[in-house]
Amino acid sequence: MLPADFSRLLLELETRVQSRTGRRVRNLDIQLSPDGVVLKGMTRTYYDKQLAQHSIRELLPNVFLNNAIVVA
């Protein structure tokens, strides 16, 4: 994947997560690697954590996804 494609994909993922969760995931950090995607951040509900995960799955349905968003 080219750097421009990588940046575009990362921006699209961040936009989807923020839009789908109503920006309720604070300190959102999405890490992309050849091994998969890691979601990090904080939210108040498991529902928002799940919404964030589904946002990624819509665009990358077969990628390994580690949802490390903390619910507090």
Residues 11-43 pLDDT 10s: 999 999 999 999 999 999 999 998 999 999 999
Structural domain including 51 reads 3-71
Structural domains in the chain (count): 1
Domain of 23, CATH number, reads: 3.30.1340
Q: Which residue has the higher pLDDT, 2 or 22?
A: 22
pTM equals 0.90
What band does 2 get if pLDDT is binned at 50, 70 and 90?
low
Q: What is the H or E stretch that residue 5 is in?
A: helix 3-21
